[in-house]
Structure 1
Amino acid sequence: MRLLFICSQNKWRSLTAERLFDEHPHYEARSAGTEPGARVRVAAGHLGWAEIIFVMERRHADRLREKFADELRDKMVVTLRIPDKYPFGDARLIALLREKLAAHLPLL
């Protein structure tokens, strides 16, 4: 299953989430950001590739819907409600991601 994680800058939250799935046997993950200065900025191709899209905050989902309404038509978008206060790879962020994702990804 192909997972896409979205945050603002694609430097801390979404990149940490992507790394959780490195070499996972059942999930493939990518990440991107919504802002112009993002490490990887989200594009239509990312959304087309993904089977499930996880955003960290509601505002990320709103931005995706504004810019990519057609690409999101048949996609599941899940808001994780994870604030932008954890650095990349932070143990608390990893624990929070695992907790929030468990309901959506049974093979985690």
Structure 2
Amino acid sequence: MKILFLCSRNQWRSPTAEKVYQNDPRVEVRSAGTSASARCRVSEKLLRWADLVLVMEHEHKRRLREMFPEIVRDLRIEVLDIPDDYPFMDAELMRLIRERVEPLLEP
């Protein structure tokens, strides 16, 4: 399964999620941000690559619908509900990511 993790600026949450799952044999992962100032900005190409898009907040899902209405209509997008309160690779952030992502990986 190909998973795209999204947050706003692709600085803390989505890169942490990508790192947490980068060596997991069940998935291929990438990360991006919805903001114009994101380190790696979400693109049509990334969205078409993904089987599952995991966004950190409902706002990210709303932005995707605005930015790529045709593409996201057919995409599975799940909201993880992880606030922007954690630095990169924070232990609590990694715990939350695993807690929210694992149920979505079950067959």
* 1:62-108 deviation line (CA, Å, top 9, x unaligned): 0000110111121110001100000000000000001111210128x
Q: Which residue of 1 aligns with 2:58?
A: 58
Distance 1:19 1:29 in 2: 9
Q: Which residue of 1 aligns with 2:36?
A: 36
Q: Which residue of 1 aligns with 2:74?
A: 74
Task: Report how many aligned residue pairs link the two structures.
Answer: 107
Is 1:102 aligned with 2:102?
yes
Identity among equivalent pairs (%):
48
Distance 2:102 2:40 in 1: 26
Please show how residues 15-34 of structure 1 align to structure 2 within 5 Å: 15-34=15-34
Distance 2:14 2:25 in 1: 20
Query: 1:22: Cα distance to partner?
Result: 1.6
Is 1:92 aligned with 2:87?
no
Q: Which has the higher helix share?
A: 2
Q: CA RMSD in A?
A: 1.0
Distance 1:22 1:103 in 2: 17
Poorly superposed stretches of 4+, deviation over 3 Å: none
- Give unmatched runs, 5+ long, in structure 1: none
SS in 2 for 1:102: helix
